[in-house]
Amino acid sequence: MRIKHLLLMVLVPVLAACSFNNKSAPSRFYAITVPTVQQVRGPAKSTNVSIENVSVPQSVDRPQIVVKNTDSNMVTVSEFDRWVEGLNSALPVAISENMNLYARNINARPKRFAANDANTKYFVSVDFVRFETETDGQITIAAWWTVANNHGETLVQKKTTVTADTPDTEYGEPNYDAIVAEQSKLVAKLSYKIADIISELK
């Protein structure tokens, strides 16, 4: 019995040390941000816009950030580099804020804030068909988007593709902070294109 007690006294600290050493690394969280831009479009009069349906490819519709290996069909799903908020939820906010900063004549809001606004004039839907980052290539964001009026009539339907060079790796690993910053800039460019079209509508 005494030997068993001694063995337990030795094993417990060893197991505890093993458990401590195998502790998972902490996750890092990232968010789509809104770059600073001067208001360059339109008079002070505001046109109310609702950002309706926004969707992303299923491959990136997950908490983890996904990066595609260049010249390969393999993708890397980073377990420790994650979105602080799902893209389908974060992108409508980012698009509306980008449009508001860019165009003085637009008052855009995500659907959940504009759903009961009878004064909404235009409704925007965005279907991202590519939200892709290659490790040693380019970041590509491509989306089909439509603008409809308050009678349900589609006024505009376009596809926009914007790209940027993927930031250099950091210690041999993707620089996720720099990647998300570039993705944010590309989302802003898409938002500005939509704002330009709405500004020209009568």
Say yes or no to pLDDT of 10 above 70.
no
Q: For position 97, what pLDDT does the model report?
A: 96
The pTM assigned to this predicted structure is 0.85
Do 70 and 138 touch, CB atoms closer than 8 A? no
Say yes or no to pLDDT of 34 above 80.
yes
Q: For position 6, what pLDDT does the model report?
A: 39
Do 140 and 161 touch, CB atoms closer than 8 A? yes
**Could you give the domains of the chain?**
27-200 (3.40.50.10610)
Q: Which tens digit of pLDDT belongs to each residue from 84-133?
A: 999 999 999 999 999 999 998 899 999 987 666 778 999 999 999 999 99
Say yes or no to pLDDT of 148 above 70.
yes
Say yes or no to pLDDT of 155 above 90.
yes
